[in-house]
Amino acid sequence: MSKLPSYPKVSNLNDLLAIAYQIEIDAVDRYNLLADQMETHNNPELVKIFRDLARAEGIHGEEIRRLAGDFDVVAHARAMARVKHGESPEEADLGSAHYMMTPWHALQLSLGGEERALAYFTMIVETAKDEKVKAMAAELVEEEAEHVNLVHRLLKRYPKPSENWADDLDPPASQE
């Protein structure tokens, strides 16, 4: 199935801000869900990373609210910014989670999300007719590009784990 999100048409600046806001909020929810999973499965290092990522996305959401000024971007997002097909770009892929995943894996999920958001806003820049929408989308592209760079910098701290990272000395498949 397609992983490209399909949002309602962006007709004006408010629509774009609502979608941008919703993308961040969806990411907050997703990272918190992953943090909850890691808490349940006793992987505290990942709990912290996912909570930090959720907090960062929440800050981005607040920035978009500020950009929207007096316009109620939260209500507009709730009314129109629902992905019709696929998932919200910055929602980390739940199917890629693993109870023994490492910070490198978490950051790979994050990188994928930032890159999808970058691709989405780039597509808006390329297709928007309204100059204000185009300009704001370009700002968001810059923002997302910075997030991509940030994740790349973080990844330098966490090298790729060895092939056997998922080896469990007490595996769940105990009957095999």
**Which residues make up the interface to another protein (CB under 8 A)?**
1, 29, 33-34, 36-41, 78, 82-87, 94-99, 101, 172-176
Shortest separation between residue 36's beta carbon and another protein, angstroms: 5
Q: Residue 88 or residue 133: which is nearer to another protein going by CB?
A: 88
Calpha distance 118→147 (Å, rounded): 9
Q: Which of 147, 155, 140 is nearest to 49 (CA)?
A: 155
Nearest approach, Cβ of residue 44 and another protein (Å): 14
Of 28 and 117, the one with the shorter C-beta distance to another protein is 28
Name the minimum Å distance from CB 166 to another protein. Answer: 9
| DSSP 8-state class, residue 7 | P
User: Of 92 and 141, which CB lies nearer to another protein in the complex structure?
Assistant: 92
Q: What is the DSSP string of 17-57?
A: HHHHHHHHHHHHHHHHHHHHHHHHTT-HHHHHHHHHHHHHH
Specify the DSSP class assigned to residue 60.
H
- CA 173/CA 90 separation, integer angstroms: 32
Q: Cβ closer to another protein: 86 or 148?
A: 86
* Residue with Cβ nearer another protein (4 or 138): 4
Bridge partners for 85 per DSSP: 6
d(CA 14, CA 50): 30
Q: How far is the CB of 33 from another protein (least distance, A)?
A: 7
Contact predicate 27/57, CB 8 Å: yes
Kindly provide the residue ranges of all beta strands, DSSP E only, lying in 44-161, ordered along the sequence: none
Nearest approach in angstroms of CB 31 to another protein is 13
